Amino acid sequence: MRWSRSKVSNRQAPAWLTEWEYAHRGLHGDGVPENSLQGARLAIERGMGIECDTQRSADDHPMVFHDWDLKRLTGLQGDFGGRAADELRAYRYLESNEHIASLKDLLALIGGRVPLLIEIKSKRGYHVERSCAIVKQALEAYSGNHAVMSFDPRVARWFRRNSPETCAGLVMREDEHGQTQKLWQRRLALWFAKPDFLAYHIAALPNPWVRGLRAGGLPILTWTVNSPEKRARALEHADAPISEGAGLA
């Protein structure tokens, strides 16, 4: 079955979306923490777009951080979302002088020089709509190219209804870690979200369903491109890679 773009979204994704390669969680590695301002600086210097993760602090500020707990990245115990923004910004990453950044910190650093993909984190029972609202608020004064995306189809749906000028995508994977292992689940998530683009797991490419969506005009980004083999596959079967490590050009 070949899907036309009209069955997904009636909005046109911006041209810049597929004109860049994106540094996954910033250009991290070799002592540079993921999602850090240092990683963002290095990506900008290399002429790459940036992909980052956001979740909200206890006092409702969007913070740039991947994990739900602090242990892996800071060595501290506790739930990330249980801390206020000022407290989180005081924490340093392990073996680094870099501190956790807020989304506003990251936007100020980028200043429109490269595009930004903002993944909004979600999980079962999480009030993701509140996260959408505070990310939207942080972006109101920002004029640089940016898009939001999430595994949670409620995110693209929320932005389509509440911030239609914001490019919004759906992140998807098919393995045991995802919530869309079955094709009917993927179709349902796509129908609910009506995203402007998909960010699809490289391990699940190529496949006929995504090939049909791409042929119908839906932009396909792919992650995490971290080897030469995955890079070659991404360049053939997607429109823009989200890369790190050995997958970088």
The domains located in the chain, with CATH, are 5-247 (3.20.20.190)
Q: What is the model's pLDDT at position 8? A: 74
Residue 73 has which token pair? Answer: 């990245």
Q: What is the model's pLDDT at position 145? A: 98
Q: What is the model's pLDDT at position 7? A: 57
Q: Residue 168 to residues 101, 117, 153, 160: CA-CA distances in angstroms?
A: 22, 9, 10, 7
Mean pLDDT in consecutive groups of 10 residues from the start of the chain, 249 residues: 52 95 97 98 98 98 98 98 98 97 98 98 96 98 97 98 97 88 94 98 97 97 98 98 97
Strand 240-243 and strand 220-225: the pairing is: parallel
Q: What is the model's pLDDT at position 3? A: 38
Q: What is the model's pLDDT at position 175? A: 87
| DSSP H or E run through 135 | helix 128-139
Q: What is the model's pLDDT at position 116? A: 99
Q: What is the model's pLDDT at position 10? A: 72
Cβ-based neighbours of 3, under 8 Å, separated by 6 or more:
212, 213, 216, 218
